[in-house]
Structure 1
Amino acid sequence: MAYENILYEVRDGVGILTLNRPEVYNSLNAALMTEVRDLLPRVAADPGTGALVITGAGDAFC
């Protein structure tokens, strides 16, 4: 699935999930939540990822 509302990367075994809707202060909507629900099982199944940090783009994080 191609993501439009989130960014994801792994650094040193830590997954970093960034809510990427800074124009609306990273508020949650159905599309963003669908993307998060798609990503989380993939993160959990990745043996190279030991932790997940959730953050927001821009100046606000819900």
Structure 2
Amino acid sequence: MVKLFFKFSVIENANGESIAILNHNKASAYLVPSEVYENMMEMLDEYYLMKEVEKRLEY
């Protein structure tokens, strides 16, 4: 089990930017603002919908 030891001030001071969680100087996770995450999910949904439309138009 991994324990995270950082102050909430790190998130507050990010000013809406993403935060990388490092493990031995390699990014192991990212904290992204909820708005960014929601936009990414919407873009993925649109991409998969577009692919499905293209697939159905081939027939």
Task: With the length of structure 1 as denominator, give the TM-score of the two structures.
Answer: 0.31
Higher Cα Rg, which structure: 2
Greater strand content: 1
Q: Which has the higher contact order (CA 8 A, sep 6+)?
A: 1
